[in-house]
Structure 1
Amino acid sequence: MQPVYLNDSEVRDHLFPFSQVRPAADIRVGILSIREKWEHLLGRPVQLVSGTEGLPEGASVYAANIIPTKAFAESLERNPAAPDWEATKLVQYPWHIFQLNDWAIREDFRLLTEGRSSIPIPATVQAINPENIFIEPGATIQHCILNASTGPIHIGKNAEIMEGSLIRGPFALGEGAVLKMGTRVYGATTVGPYCVAGGEIKNSVMMGYSNKAHDGYLGDAVLGEWCNLGAGTSNSNLKNNASDVKVWHHPSEKYIAAGIKCGLLMGDYSRSAINTSFYTGTVVGICANVFGDGIPPKFIPSFTWGTRGLSKYEFEKALTDIETWKKFKHQLLTEAEIKRLRTIFEQS
């Protein structure tokens, strides 16, 4: 069976900071990553490439930022030379991740639940539109409100929703993830695998293994993996005059309009101190430790230490801190990660 090749050579830079440590196809939008969507829909292996040189003649190569759908996959089977491109979406900029999340959760919910049955909703849970709620085996849910009248709710395997949580769909809680007591979630939000979430969250994506465990507001935002927001951290997502939010675009090294709403875009391994306040449209690179008096600047480069003067994070210190954070979730820092981080550090 010939694989599908997803090429991110032309889109990688435009998806900074989320494409620094992962291929564009491994960005999570909705419940699944882009790569996982291709695999589920086509039932074929997917290989990630940077360019087309050396690929077999006649290989099926697609841009890694294309989000496929069931309608697209069916059209591809009918006519590989002219599929229905109107049935796809493109993640062209990092803010598209949260902007497309409502649509993507609905698409993934249908894909993952078709022909399957949810485990029963516990008696202590107040469920609205229960037919639009799917709970995977091993999930623990009690004394909370699940309102699926505004969109589907998918609760992953071995995830936990603690008592007092209020959730409106569309919403996805990944495998092993936790919503702490009294969490308020508005759609369209994805809390990825092994994340811990609390406080108030709206229209945001936490890709995986990240923490926003305390009070504070995260809205119209994206967190990569292994991020941590200190207690009381909040982002603004709307300017006082309701004009377009300007966001740092790394390839052009200038700010461009991202729409009326955009909050925090934080790359992998980055953290903020308690009570940090982020401006609308703030971009934080990978492995930044954000702390200090006042509001941080709207663009914080990778491997930044603090915010005043934007000092450089010492590389060995950064690795030690990442390793410590990963141990919290029973993971280890791999040699492949270290090699990739060292390359980014030397180029930053």
Structure 2
Amino acid sequence: MAIILFDDNAHHTLLPLTYTRPVADLRIGILTIAEKWAKYLNSDFSFYTRDYLQAKFPLTIQDDNIFINGSVCPDEAVVEVIKNLGSGQALRYKDILIAVKLKDIYADNFDPYGKYTDELIYNDELVVLTHPEDIFRKNDTELRKDFKLLTAGRKSAKLSSTNTIIGDDFFAEEGVRSECCSFSTLNGPIYLSSNTEVWEGTHIRGPFALCHHSQIKMGTKIYGATTIGPYCRIGGEVNNSVVWGYSSKGHEGYLGNAVIGEWCNLGADTNNSNLKNNYSEVKLWDYPTRSMRKTGLQFCGLIMADHAKCGINTMFNTGTVVGVSANVFGGGYPPNYVPDFGWGGADGFEEYGFDKMMETTARVIGRRPHRNFDDAEKAILTEVYKLTKPYRK
């Protein structure tokens, strides 16, 4: 049985975060959505996504296939229903298709917006990602679910006695290094993955997850619900944020109610506001409508897509969206929407030269010996550069 995670309209409404990946490759909680489904179903997975992403995220069709909506986070209840679907039977939640089981002869014509003769309606609540802010907004729920999923039947490794652990919902994998730090699980669980480091004087309140090969620098203060993805280096003050992986916020500065993509770098003393001075509702730039969209949130900080960078002392206003491969620098507040491949700051933006951007990206990825800036990666950025050109006019 092949598990195929498909994109629907959420791929559009989650831009710019999904320009460079399928929806199911988004990290929320501890795992990506695809990794969650793989754990629950004990199966490998592939992706049904945009054509230009398919080389990096391939599609595999077998004799029997379950197509699952990549914007839906699994839980035990919905997984059980999906397991029991018959061939040709579909499962719908509100106005979206959750899953459909198809033989290979029908799988080639799969339509994520299609109607099926035999459809079941799922009435329980589900965690579904629709907009970028849903990632930090629903991260608390997913952190708790993933913690239970990953720690069931396992025993935590021991940390040095110089650390203080408050509460019981704490788990460290083998290879975690930490000295003279405090971990409080009174508000939620804490999960430290393998080969991570938490440097001296750090204070962490759960729920929190630190993914493999990441580092928390000395004196860092982290509040839940926060996830730091693999191969990151984090310092300063962080609150209710998700940093996906291979990104750095290595210095002082505040990051709150934020989502930071892969291969991003926040310069020293970068800060984002997450609350307007008049305490009013925060709006975010919306790609489908090319206008500001009401979020219904009072606290909403920074959304930064893959490969974006900002210089030292950058100040981001409440509800700022920074596009793919944007480079922000200079004094003052940049606008609330920084276009993909934008180069500049408060005084305005020009287009980041494509060749120059590609050279920088190759250098950044080249610093990781196990990662390669290959043809598939280059083709994705080339296509995203073309797709986003209208937003830079």
- Give the conservation status (yes or no) of the 8 Å contact 1:71–1:87: no
Report Cα offsets for 1:18-39 as digits up to 9, x if no partner: 1000111000000000000000
Matches within 5 A, 1:176-195: 176-195=213-232
Aligned AA (1:320): E
The TM-score with structure 1 as length reference comes to 0.95
- Give the conservation status (yes or no) of the 8 Å contact 1:72–1:83: no
- Out of 197, 203, 223, which is 1:166 matched to? 203
Report Cα offsets for 1:123-144 as digits up to 9, x if no partner: 1110001x21000111111110
With 302-311 and 160-169 compared, the bigger mean Cα shift is at 302-311
State the partner residue of 1:318: 357
Shift of 1:59: 3.9
| Local SS of the residue matching 1:320 | helix
- Give the conservation status (yes or no) of the 8 Å contact 1:220–1:264: yes
Between the aligned partners of 2:191 and 2:219, the Cα distance in structure 1 is 19
Between the aligned partners of 2:367 and 2:137, the Cα distance in structure 1 is 31
State the partner residue of 1:18: 17
Between the aligned partners of 1:61 and 1:10, the Cα distance in structure 2 is 15
Between the aligned partners of 1:333 and 1:326, the Cα distance in structure 2 is 6
Matches within 5 A, 1:73-88: 73-78=79-84, 82=120, 84=122, 86-88=124-126
Q: RMSD over aligned Cα, in angstroms?
A: 1.9
Report Cα offsets for 1:108-163 as digits up to 9, x if no partner: 0000000011101321110001x210001111111100001110000011000000
- Give the conservation status (yes or no) of the 8 Å contact 2:73–2:126: yes
Between the aligned partners of 2:222 and 2:60, the Cα distance in structure 1 is 46
Between the aligned partners of 2:187 and 2:77, the Cα distance in structure 1 is 23
Between the aligned partners of 1:156 and 1:85, the Cα distance in structure 2 is 35
- Give the conservation status (yes or no) of the 8 Å contact 1:76–1:83: no
Between the aligned partners of 1:245 and 1:327, the Cα distance in structure 2 is 38
| Local SS of the residue matching 1:12 | helix
State the partner residue of 1:249: 286
Q: Which has the larger radius of gyration?
A: 2
Between the aligned partners of 1:334 and 1:273, the Cα distance in structure 2 is 27
Structure 2 gaps, min length 5: 51-58, 90-119
Report Cα offsets for 1:151-199 as digits up to 9, x if no partner: 0000011000000000000000000000000000000000100110000
Between the aligned partners of 2:225 and 2:145, the Cα distance in structure 1 is 13
| Local SS of the residue matching 2:299 | coil
State the partner residue of 1:67: 73
- Give the conservation status (yes or no) of the 8 Å contact 2:2–2:61: no
Aligned AA (1:178): Q
Between the aligned partners of 2:358 and 2:327, the Cα distance in structure 1 is 12
State the partner residue of 1:204: 241
Q: 1:249 to 1:164 in 2, by over 3 A?
A: same
- Give the conservation status (yes or no) of the 8 Å contact 1:264–1:283: yes
Matches within 5 A, 1:284-323: 284-307=322-345, 308-323=347-362
- Out of 374, 379, 382, which is 1:334 matched to? 374
The TM-score with structure 2 as length reference comes to 0.84
Between the aligned partners of 1:114 and 1:57, the Cα distance in structure 2 is 33
Aligned AA (1:310): F
Between the aligned partners of 2:319 and 2:331, the Cα distance in structure 1 is 19
| Local SS of the residue matching 2:10 | coil
Shift of 1:56: 7.3
State the partner residue of 1:218: 255
Q: Does 1:112 align with 2:150?
A: yes
Structure 1 gaps, min length 5: none
| Local SS of the residue matching 1:204 | strand
Identity of aligned residues (%): 40
Between the aligned partners of 1:236 and 1:109, the Cα distance in structure 2 is 29
Shift of 1:325: 1.8
Between the aligned partners of 1:288 and 1:239, the Cα distance in structure 2 is 24
Q: 1:54 to 1:180 in 2, by over 3 A?
A: closer
Shift of 1:78: 4.8
Q: 1:148 to 1:54 in 2, by over 3 A?
A: closer
Shift of 1:344: 1.1
Report Cα offsets for 1:3-46 as digits up to 9, x if no partner: 12221142211111110001110000000000000000011232
- Give the conservation status (yes or no) of the 8 Å contact 2:245–2:263: yes
Q: Which runs of 4+ in 1 moved over 6 A?
A: 53-58
| Local SS of the residue matching 2:27 | coil
